[in-house]
Structure 1
Amino acid sequence: MGYTLEAVIAGDALLGAAARELPGATVVPLAQGLALLPMTEGRYPGGSAAEPADGLGFWSLPAGFAAVLARWSAAGPVAYGEADYFGGTGEQRAAVWAAGALVWGPSHTPEGRPSSPAGSPLSQALRRLGATAGGAVDEFAAVGLDRHRSTERWARAGGG
């Protein structure tokens, strides 16, 4: 069974307000006061074309969208993350913007390599947004990112 995710994650109020500038945007509540904006193909500026010139290495971040994330982060920290797994192998990449600038990452765990001792890129990014693992295995599970297995399912969960 696979898992794919391309999403913006931030505080629910911040992300709800920011997403209003994107026609048809879907914001899905997560645990711990966070929310997720699934970046489904073709729904946001630049579609799913990656930003090869930005040096961040994301495969689905729409062209120019890093600047949007930086602008949104003036209101609080904002993360962008991607994950692609099948049969237990895959990769993750995540970054966090705050106060208008990239402040962490991108962190990347390539296919075939274990996550760092600090956790997976998505868990580390979530920690920078204030998430805690609590009784869960990690921040990823604690906020509920394991609830759906694809970006499209997240979009449908939010009514998008």
Structure 2
Amino acid sequence: MPYELNAVVGRFDLLRSETAGMRDADVVPLRRGVGLVPVTPHLLAEPMLRDWSRGGPIAHVEADFHGGVGHQSAAVWRAGAKVWGPAHTRDFTGPREEWPINAALALIDVVVEGSEEAAPHDLFQELGLGREQDMDGWRSAGRTARWAATYEATRHLQDLCLARGPLSREEAETLLRTWAAEQDAGAVTAELTCCVTRRNQSRPSGVYFLPRSLFLLRPRGLGAF
């Protein structure tokens, strides 16, 4: 099965903060508090990556596979400078932790919860980078996730869409309010600018998203990013 990825990866809260107000930038929640910004022609520029990395380490990762043959590349920025890479490979016979994307993820401090520090891990799989198969899928996931203010609310909204398919405004609001109450949320604000469910024409498999809703959910104790 073909696979395509071109994205910036870093802490979810860092990427949310750096992309605030950028029209073409959406942050997809991954596991372990990590986020992914699908790259567009307007987004990827070295000065931008340097600026973003001042708030924390980030990696630019790329992969392209067809028929089991392909390549990976990755580079890491930290404190306003490129500190590693770009590294490229078409040879995947070596240890997985040495493949460019896994090596870059380790360098931006992605860790597996509860694991021994020395144990090798496939961080690509641990974060869920195989969940989507192409850039259309990642951009759709980003549009779905943009409307929740916290990492936890974003992940929950994403899970709801994956599990239930298309959601009406009323269904989404009710489910998110219920979730927030279960998380011991205090006052929960759900501000909806326009929440209509429509099909994402770029995904013939029938995946839907909520294109213009805004859920500001900040459960007590989780804090604001």
Coarse TM-score class (shorter-chain normalised): 0.7 to 0.9
CA distance in 2, matches of 1:128, 1:152: 27
Aligned match of 1:32: 32
2:114 is the alignment partner of 1:121: no
Segments of structure 1 that go 5 or more residues without pairing to the other structure are 46-61
1:24 match: secondary structure: coil
Deviation of residue 21 (structure 1)? 4.7
Structure 1 stretches of 4+ with a deviation exceeding 4 A read 133-137
Report if aligned partners of 1:6, 1:82 keep a CA contact under 8 Å in 2. yes
Out of 20-29 and 150-159, give the one that drifted further.
20-29
Residue of 71, 80, 91 corresponding to 2:71: 91
Segments of structure 2 that go 5 or more residues without pairing to the other structure are 145-225
Residue of 103, 122, 142 corresponding to 1:138: 122
1:131 match: secondary structure: coil
Report if aligned partners of 1:25, 1:37 keep a CA contact under 8 Å in 2. yes
CA distance in 2, matches of 1:17, 1:141: 25
Structure (1 or 2) with the larger CA radius of gyration: 2
Aligned match of 1:78: 58
Residue of 81, 85, 89 corresponding to 1:105: 85
Report if aligned partners of 1:9, 1:34 keep a CA contact under 8 Å in 2. yes
Give the root-mean-square deviation of aligned CA atoms. 2.1
CA distance in 2, matches of 1:32, 1:144: 10
Aligned match of 1:54: none
1:67 match: secondary structure: helix
The structure with the largest strand share of the pair is 1
> Percent same amino acid among aligned pairs?
39
Change (3 A) 1:84 1:102: same
Name the aligned partner's letter for residue 142 of structure 1. E
CA distance in 2, matches of 1:128, 1:21: 28
Count of residues in Structure 1 that have an aligned counterpart in Structure 2 = 138
Name the aligned partner's letter for residue 111 of structure 2. T
1:107 match: secondary structure: strand
